Chain A
């Protein structure tokens, strides 16, 4: 059934059958390059923004909190809109390009916003909107330009390139600060130039998915998008991804717990996320390939098992540097086994003309329940204490993983 569905959906994709041995298609590499470059651009701004807002503009804690909350909250809805429009107009590349372009212009916006907090808030919201809009059409393009059997590997390559860009961002920002003798404007301008390079690569090197001839074209309506949920296999993946999201401990909490267990030189604390990202970068491709061979859902669940082990390790007797390395490696495994793998699992279940909307639906569902997970964990921490809250979180995660493994929502597909 998996083969039939996948082939049926992908006959129009220009995947040369002779290219089966090739690692990934040129289009996936080009999309990876766009993400790599764009991540350099966005992470360099993320790295200097606190310095700029606090030292340059003198913002205080509450005001910064408001700005920060503003720009992290907008993505969820926008992602659905981006996915829907990309499908409706059959213009995946154009919609993705709009998203990348909007974020690039945001960097110029930061230079023009000066010290107006309202303007800075608007610019940051526009940047996040751009990110939300582009994600689903981009992931849809990756699935449509890859051979369905090797989707895990394709996403692995894409996510590894993306993460590598995120690594480079702060380094480039430091180089610019050094070169310009501490000019934040230069960081924003350089960030804009790099983002513009990303847009150019997308425009010139990425091939859009060829829409079907007009006669066969589906007009994608909102109702049709909602109707995706009626398709049993896709519904199951959405529901289980969302359920797992609901019992997934967020990154910041994991780092917080780790910090309390490990009396780390405080200077190094902000480097913890780099540990996770490093492992993710190294394992994205191997785990993606593994998921192609043994089944994507298995690897996806395996990633969650890694998170459970990480949580239990945080409660265990080992501490110090050993614990930190163990926890960060497991956390990186969790990312490498879940992020791109979920897209690779969901992609082939979706009709070609509804790829972007469908992927947006999975991502938004997962992101929304993860947000609730954060709130719930915060409440649990307040009501009991940290140790009990982590234990309960790990327990809940185990229950959902076991249920997902026993009920095997995707047994016929992967």
Chain B
């Protein structure tokens, strides 16, 4: 028995040593030099027109930092700021940075609001993992979607919380879930309702979002002041309203295949007509409108753009980047 216990102790020592060794090795694995050309130390303003802001995901010391390139020549070396975010968005001189607190479990996200020169003006700590973040066209509202453990309908489930921070009143709405929800004119109740992917109209009152319930997704049109929402269409996920407010870019579920469930599509709100875009791969991102004709999205570790009318072809705009925001 004694030799057996000694054997077990020896095995434990070896395995723990292997685990610690691997952890230390992982620590040093990141390269000390940026994998792409980078310009640092210059001021970044989110208000300067004609630029594409994004999260730099090229290996190196500036991994995860906010970066920017001129929209008309995105191949130029990226200018990086010190700000580190998991999701980034900007509009009308306001920036939103969602950053998961490193190594904190259960996960906690810092929702950080910044002014045009990236000075922090508000910070809120919320439980969960960052998923989507956006700023309203007028820069007065910021909103986000976080994943949260443990409060979903399913036993082991995972759910989302979409929240809104109103910068003009300072009011923080941690979850829009309490909002009255209507389907075909009748109030809809279900304990498994989840909201994600908020997108506001230019008036700062009307907004759209995805509702997920009982395995289906719906587009809702909501009134921020009345705090109520109507389900208006099925199978619309992660909506993004065009700058002219007439169309919504979204993810449409086109396949039951787990590996490639979605296609990017654009919905014309007036006619209800849907157009699949020229990107044929499955996109899992909330699209961002660069202007009224083009949407950008993250795919296969790069940022891509495709015409919003279904014509043309997808092209890679920035290699190794995510969370595109055109300003």
| Residues of chain A at the chain B interface (Cβ within 8 Å) | 47-48, 50-51, 54-55, 58-69, 71-72, 116-118, 121, 170, 173-174, 176-183, 185-186, 189-190, 193-194, 196-197, 200-201, 204-205, 250-253, 255-256, 259, 266-273, 371, 374, 378, 381-382, 385-386
Please determine whether A382 and B189 come into contact, CB atoms closer than 8 angstroms: yes
Please determine whether A177 and B102 come into contact, CB atoms closer than 8 angstroms: yes
Q: How far is the CA of A116 from the CA of B300 in the complex (A)?
A: 12
Please determine whether B26 and A252 come into contact, CB atoms closer than 8 angstroms: no
Give A194 Cβ to nearest chain B Cβ, in Å: 7
Give A1 Cβ to nearest chain B Cβ, in Å: 37
Please determine whether B103 and A174 come into contact, CB atoms closer than 8 angstroms: yes
Instruction: Kindly list chain B residues whose C-beta atoms are within 8 Å of the C-beta of A116.
Output: 259
Q: How far is the CA of A66 from the CA of B190 in the complex (A)?
A: 19
Please determine whether A47 and B106 come into contact, CB atoms closer than 8 angstroms: yes
Contact of A48 among B105, B155, B251, B322 (CB under 8 A): B105
By secondary structure, the B interface counts as: mixed
Which chain A residue lies CB-closest to B174? A266
B137 at the interface (CB under 8 A from A): no
Which chain A residue lies CB-closest to B131? A54
Number of A-B contacts (CB under 8 A): 187
Please determine whether B105 and A174 come into contact, CB atoms closer than 8 angstroms: yes
B168 at the interface (CB under 8 A from A): no
Give B100 Cβ to nearest chain A Cβ, in Å: 6
Please determine whether B191 and A58 come into contact, CB atoms closer than 8 angstroms: no
What would be 15 A-B contacts, judged by CB atoms less than 8 Å apart? A48-B105, A50-B129, A50-B147, A51-B129, A61-B145, A61-B158, A61-B160, A181-B27, A186-B23, A193-B19, A194-B15, A196-B15, A200-B8, A270-B149, A382-B190
Which chain B residue lies CB-closest to A201? B8
Please determine whether B22 and A255 come into contact, CB atoms closer than 8 angstroms: no
Which chain B residue lies CB-closest to A177? B103
B11 at the interface (CB under 8 A from A): yes
Q: A55-B86, A189-B19 are in contact. Are A270 and B106 (CB under 8 A)?
A: yes
Instruction: Kindly list chain B residues whose C-beta atoms are within 8 Å of the C-beta of A196.
Output: 15
Which chain A residue lies CB-closest to B175? A266
Give B215 Cβ to nearest chain A Cβ, in Å: 8
Please determine whether B154 and A55 come into contact, CB atoms closer than 8 angstroms: no
B18 at the interface (CB under 8 A from A): yes
Please determine whether A58 and B298 come into contact, CB atoms closer than 8 angstroms: yes
Q: How far is the CA of A385 from the CA of B160 in the complex (A)?
A: 22
B220 at the interface (CB under 8 A from A): no
| Residues of chain B at the chain A interface (Cβ within 8 Å) | 4-5, 7-8, 11-12, 15-16, 18-20, 22-24, 26-27, 29-30, 86, 100, 102-108, 125-127, 129-131, 145, 147-160, 174, 189-192, 194, 196, 210, 212, 217, 237-238, 251, 253, 258-259, 261, 284-285, 298, 322
Please determine whether A189 and B22 come into contact, CB atoms closer than 8 angstroms: yes
Please determine whether A180 and B105 come into contact, CB atoms closer than 8 angstroms: no
Please determine whether B23 and A54 come into contact, CB atoms closer than 8 angstroms: no
Contact of A190 among B22, B104, B210 (CB under 8 A): B22
Q: How far is the CA of A63 from the CA of B215 in the complex (A)?
A: 11
Lowest 4 A-B CB distances belong to which pairs? A183-B26, A270-B106, A180-B23, A177-B103
Please determine whether A58 and B284 come into contact, CB atoms closer than 8 angstroms: yes
Please determine whether A118 and B147 come into contact, CB atoms closer than 8 angstroms: no
Instruction: Kindly list chain B residues whose C-beta atoms are within 8 Å of the C-beta of A268.
Output: 127
Instruction: Kindly list chain A residues whose C-beta atoms are within 8 Å of the C-beta of B212.
Output: 61-62, 65
Please determine whether B150 and A269 come into contact, CB atoms closer than 8 angstroms: yes
Q: A178-B103, A267-B125, A267-B127 are in contact. Are A381 and B189 (CB under 8 A)?
A: yes
Give A78 Cβ to nearest chain B Cβ, in Å: 16
Contact of A205 among B5, B105, B130 (CB under 8 A): B5
Which chain B residue lies CB-closest to A268? B127
Please determine whether B155 and A251 come into contact, CB atoms closer than 8 angstroms: yes
Q: How far is the CA of A262 from the CA of B66 in the complex (A)?
A: 38
Which chain B residue lies CB-closest to A259? B151
Q: A50-B147, A252-B154, A378-B153 are in contact. Are A266 and B126 (CB under 8 A)?
A: yes
Give A336 Cβ to nearest chain B Cβ, in Å: 20
Please determine whether A252 and B153 come into contact, CB atoms closer than 8 angstroms: yes
Please determine whether B259 and A117 come into contact, CB atoms closer than 8 angstroms: yes
Please determine whether B8 and A205 come into contact, CB atoms closer than 8 angstroms: yes
Q: How far is the CA of A185 from the CA of B18 in the complex (A)?
A: 13
Q: How far is the CA of A60 from the CA of B282 in the complex (A)?
A: 12
Instruction: Kindly list chain B residues whose C-beta atoms are within 8 Å of the C-beta of A201.
Output: 8
Instruction: Kindly list chain A residues whose C-beta atoms are within 8 Å of the C-beta of B16.
Output: 193, 197
Contact of B24 among A71, A179, A259 (CB under 8 A): A179
Instruction: Kindly list chain A residues whose C-beta atoms are within 8 Å of the C-beta of B194.
Output: 61
Q: How far is the CA of A196 from the CA of B253 in the complex (A)?
A: 40
Contact of A69 among B12, B154, B217 (CB under 8 A): B154
Q: How far is the CA of A176 from the CA of B150 in the complex (A)?
A: 23
Which chain B residue lies CB-closest to A389? B191
Q: How far is the CA of A60 from the CA of B8 in the complex (A)?
A: 42
Contact of A267 among B100, B108, B192 (CB under 8 A): B108
Which chain A residue lies CB-closest to B29? A183
Which chain A residue lies CB-closest to B251? A60
Give A25 Cβ to nearest chain B Cβ, in Å: 14
Q: A54-B129, A176-B23, A267-B127 are in contact. Are A182 and B152 (CB under 8 A)?
A: no
Please determine whether A179 and B23 come into contact, CB atoms closer than 8 angstroms: yes
Contact of B237 among A60, A177, A183 (CB under 8 A): A60
Q: Max chain A CB contacts within 10 Å: which of B12, B154, B217, B238?
A: B154
Q: How far is the CA of A148 from the CA of B105 in the complex (A)?
A: 41
Q: How far is the CA of A327 from the CA of B107 in the complex (A)?
A: 24
Which chain B residue lies CB-closest to A258? B151
